[in-house]
Each structure stands twice: as structure tokens, then as C-alpha cells.
A and B are shown apart, each in its own frame.
Chain A
Amino acid sequence: MAMPPPAGTTTSPLATLLSPQPSNSRSSSSLPEVVLLQARLNTHLPLVRSLLRASLASKHHVLLVTFDVPGAFFSPLVEERVTLLDYSGLVLGYELDGAGKGDVTEEALAAARARAYLASRPQYQSLTPRAVPKGPATIALIGLDTFSQDATPVRAYTLVKALLSLLSTHPTSRLVLALSSGSPLAPLFISPSFSPDLTHLLPYPPSILQHLATNFLTLPPPFGPGQKFWALFTGAAERGEGVTPRTVRVEEGLLESRVRKRGRVHRELGGWKEVDVGPGAGACAWEELGGMQEMVNGLLRTGQVQASTATSDPTADLPFNLALTPAQSAARASVPLPYAHAGKPPPQGEIIYEPDSGDDVDDDDPDEDLDI
């Protein structure tokens, strides 16, 4: 599907997603490609924009549905192949009536709320099969957590599942879901029963790595053991450690990608950066993010972290020699040891026991009369 990378380099999952796909490719399965983005504080929005730009470059039709981000945020993307459905103005309980002044009596409020809740399908009636034209298509749903808060998580899941089965009838298609960190909907979409193949992208601020480096002296591979790093990183990321409002950047960030393909899961740590005002975010290595090189150099200089994970030889960097030359090892072997029995096998060990007055020693075999 994606253009094959040049020999000798590996492309990150984000780079694969962002590279344009040929429109008449023979994909191995007709299942839509599912991309799940999970981030706190809407830091995934530049990535969403780039993914949609990549879809447009691959000649997809794009249906963009947003439940909380205002539609005006995506206006640079809107062109003739893009349908934007902006539901950010539909807030349960705050529907403005025709006159503009909402009726504040209790009964009217309760009635409005019940109407909105039960009628969420007619409100979203533009979201039908007719909204997605034939041909390669991408559907992006932004702010699903907000929708599931106003309706129910079940309704959110059914909606997405319906859209997914709709996309299966299209040749090459992609479904992009944006959730917030810690969303209760995430396990539903991660489960293989939703989609067997999944690309799960989790953006983080680089300050998490600085937090791990300062407090745990751990850097990502190849600067440290991978298992230890991932164990610490997953916990820290879920708890939001090292993240304060000041550390959140909108121009760059870390990107953890978990790709499940044909039953195997591949996990990788990379980065993303806004390359230019035009194209939007592009993939990069995590070492290229701001402050990362200084952090790595700082830890390597103090010697607490090695530059490679291979079992490091402690005698490698010493200015003096600890090894033996062959002549020296032969000479050592020929030195006679003073107390060894020269050539003869040592005598077998023998126990000599002298019983004293308190011991009860009976030389007879107590099991003589035992008849088994």
C-alpha cells in the first residue's frame, strides 16, 4: 500500500500513514485502515490535519465529523472533496430556540433535554451513507468522547461500527478516530473484534522523557534496556507525569505508535514536528525534538547510561590492559601449585567417628527384621 522505503531505512508508522498511497493499489484486504489517536489536551489535532491532507493527496473523499472542535479550525482543509459536518454547536440542554432566548422554566428545560436525548439520531441525520461518495474514502471523527457524554458510549460505538462497515464497501479507505487520553471508549476500539488491524498513535510532550531521565536515569533504546524503559514509560504516560500546562507544545511532540498487523503488535517511539505551515506535521525521530539531544548528552556524560544496550564490556575503555597474552596464559598454567597433590589423584575422603559417653551407637542394622 505505502511506497516501499529505500533499502536500509525503516519508516515510522506515522511516515507510512502520511505518504500518499497510489489510488489503484491492490490492497491485501478490503478492510478499512483504522487509525486511533489518543492524546490529552487536543495535542493530536496537527496530526489529524496532516492525516487528512495525506488522504486528500491520495485522492480520497474525506468526511470530517467534529463533535467538539469548532469547524472553523479545519477550514484550511475544506475543498470540494471534503464534507465537513460540524456538530460542536449541539450541546445537550443549551439548544437555542428560534427567538434566541431559551425558555428557563423547569418543564421546558426538562422537555428540551428529553427531546435532545431521544432525538439524537435525527440531529445527526446528515451522517448517512449518502454523505460518503463512492471511491476511496476517509472518515474522521473528532471528539467522540464529547458525543458519548451527551448520548451514551453505546450509541457512540454503534455509530462508529456502522461507519466502519460502510467503509468496507469502499476499495481503499481509512477511518480516523480521535479520543482523549483515558477515554472509556478506547478499549472498545482497541479490541480486535472492532478491527483486526489497528494503528494506535499516542502523542505526548517530550517533557515525559526528561522526567524519566532525571528521576529514573532511563532513556529510550538504544540508550538503555528496552523493557525497563517501556515499563516506566507506559506508567508515567498514563499518569501524566512530567506534564504541566507549560510543557505542552503544539508544534512538536513525542509519538508512541502501537501497530497491530496480522496478529503482531509493534511498538515504537518516534516524534512529530510541524515541518512547515503548509503541509503540517511530519514524522521525525524522537532525538530530533527540542531539548532531547541535550538530555541524552547530559546523561551519557555522567556515565550513568551507556550508549548501547549490548552487554557492555567494562574493560573496553580502560587505558591499561587487563587481558593476558597467549604466552602469559601458558606461563601461568605451567606454574606448579604448592599444595596440590602433584599428578596423583587426591585420596578419597574418609569419616572417622569416635563416639563419646553420651552417644548411643548400635552397630546392628535396625531394619534387619523388617519384612516388606
Chain B
Amino acid sequence: MALIANSLPVASLAEPGHFLLVNDRIAAPGEFILHHVLAASLKDSTAECVLVSFLERLDHWKAIQSKLGVTLETYATRKSFVFVDAFSQITMPPSSPRSQDPLVVPPIDPEASVPLRPLFDTIVGALRSVDPELPKLLLFDEVSLLEWLVPSQAEVTRFWRALFALKQKMGFGLVVLQSLDASHNHMIEFLLSSCTMHLEISPLASGRSSAVTGEIAMQRGPLSVSDGPSYKAVRKQALQYRLTESGAVWIERGTGGGML
């Protein structure tokens, strides 16, 4: 069990076939969950991580991970951490010169017959570059960009289905961050119907507070197996959290834990 700082237990996410879907909102961003999962997996050596980032460069990830006590360069040289850059080139016009780096996703052409195939192939390449014997974890940062890049809903669904099939075949765990405000309903429902565990991060109903940033609700997904680890992690009540410099502090609802 990979534990996140201060007692939010998250089941072994790198188990083959697992899919953790994290839904956040603009008022309550969920990137900190990805940071915690990445830091915990690398520090405890539970899994090799491949991170596909649509929104931020590697420098941003390095800076925040260093606050959590993880130096990404060390893990990158050891090939336990691979960064797939889906940020710099993906939104460029299709005719622009492509980078030679195999870990940079080439520009997406929405008019192509299978527009997301280059992204898929880059991810496959990244997964093949880590040690095949060890458990692997594939993390996606904010996937609603895909729906805006590719107008065809069928093609985005096919990309995800191919990724799920790859997950079953290669045996890695998947963590996806999706914004409920930026994604279309059918994509939210599609990813939700395929997940084994679901985390929803929402702002407090009473508005902003200095002591509590938001709350997290966790539940089993439709494809979870009832005696799997995700079953035990489900909680009846939402957990609240506060973001600090060194990560998130978890607070049981209605208690003063973490503040007093």
C-alpha cells in the first residue's frame, strides 16, 4: 500500500489493470494528487512512472517534486521516471518541423484518419523504455486538452480504448486527471465507466476558506473487482485537505486535525 503523507491510504495503484480517475474542478485543482502519487511511487520504489504532461513543462514538475523531497533527475537517469512531453509540440500546426526526441509528442493533425495515433505511439515507446519486469504506472495530467484538439468524439474514445487495451496487455496502472469543468459530459462518463477507482475533488460548498482548500470523495469505479484493494480504500465521508508548501494535509471532516 503506497501511503500518501498524513494517512490518506491509496491502494497499490501500479497493480496491472488498475485505473484511478481523478476529477477536479477549476476552483479545486487536483494536480497535487498526481504529485503525491508520483512522489510516493518513486520514493518507495513501488513503481516506475511514465508521466504524460499536457499542461506543464518538466521544470514545473521538477520544482514541485523537489518540495516533496524527490529529485526527478536521479530517477530519470535510473530510468525509473520517464517524462513524455505532450506540451511543447502537440498544439503546433501539423506542418511545423518535428523534434527528433522520441519522448516529445509530434503535432496532432485533427484532419488525419487516426489523429491521436502519434500520441499513442510515443506513449508506447516511453513504456517500452522502462524495465519490463517492474510494475509501471502511467500518469496523465489534465486530459481535457485532447477533446479540444480533436473534434471527433469517436476518435478520442478510440484513443482511450486503445490505451485501456494496452494497459491490459502490458500490465500497468493508470492514473488520469480530468477536469469536470473543461471536459465534455460524454468524455467524463466514458472515463468514469471504465475506471476502477474514482476520486472527486471539489471546493467547499461554503466558499473559500483559509484553513481548508477543498474536499475529496473516493469511491469504487464500475470496473472494480469487489475483493480488490480499491474496495478497502473507499470511505463513507469525504476527506478534506489543505494545500501547503510541502504538499497536502488531510483533515477529517468536522475535526480540527491539521489546524489546531
Contacts and interface: CB of A to CB of B under 8 A. Distances in A.
A52 B239 CA distance: 37
A245 B112 contact: no
Interface stretch (A7-15, A85-93, A346-354): A85-93
Contacts of B23: 245
Contacts of A73: 223, 225
Interface in B155-184: 155, 157-159, 161-162, 164-165, 168-169, 180
Nearest to A94: B162
B93 to A, nearest CB: 16
B9 interface: no
Contact of B227 (A93, A101, A149, A277): A277
A112 B114 CA distance: 10
B113 interface: yes
Chain A contact residues: helix, strand, loop or mixed: loop
B165 A91 contact: yes
B158 A91 contact: yes
A177 B154 CA distance: 22
Contacts of B219: 246, 248-250
B193 A41 contact: yes
A274 to B, nearest CB: 7
A249 B114 CA distance: 35
B48 interface: no
Given A109-B114, A245-B23, A42 B223 contact: yes
A178 to B, nearest CB: 12
A329 B18 CA distance: 78
Nearest to B225: A73
A89 B165 contact: yes
A101 B17 contact: no
Interface stretch (B51-59, B117-125, B205-213, B250-258): B117-125
Interface in A55-99: 68-73, 76, 88-89, 91-94, 96
A252 to B, nearest CB: 12
A99 to B, nearest CB: 11
B120 A94 contact: yes
Interface string A272-303: 00100100000000000000000000000000
B113 A89 contact: no
A102 interface: yes
A246 B217 contact: yes
A240 to B, nearest CB: 9
Interface in B67-106: none
Contacts of A100: 124, 128
A357 to B, nearest CB: 80
Contact of B164 (A40, A70, A109): A70
A76 B200 CA distance: 29
Interface in B135-164: 154-155, 157-159, 161-162, 164
Interface in A194-242: none
A45 interface: yes
B132 interface: no
Contacts of A101: 121, 124-125
Given A104-B118, A104-B121, A93 B158 contact: yes
Given A45-B222, A248-B219, 16 more contacts: A40-B193, A41-B192, A43-B222, A68-B194, A70-B168, A70-B223, A91-B165, A93-B117, A100-B124, A100-B128, A104-B117, A109-B112, A113-B113, A146-B161, A149-B154, A251-B226
23 contacts: A40-B189, A40-B193, A43-B222, A70-B17, A72-B17, A76-B225, A88-B165, A89-B165, A91-B165, A93-B117, A93-B155, A93-B158, A93-B162, A94-B120, A94-B162, A109-B113, A112-B114, A180-B193, A246-B200, A246-B217, A246-B219, A277-B226, A277-B227
What 3 A-B pairs are tightest by C-beta distance, nearest first?
A94-B162, A93-B114, A42-B222
Interface of B: 17, 23, 112-114, 117-118, 120-121, 124-125, 128, 154-155, 157-159, 161-162, 164-165, 168-169, 180, 188-189, 192-194, 198, 200, 217, 219-227
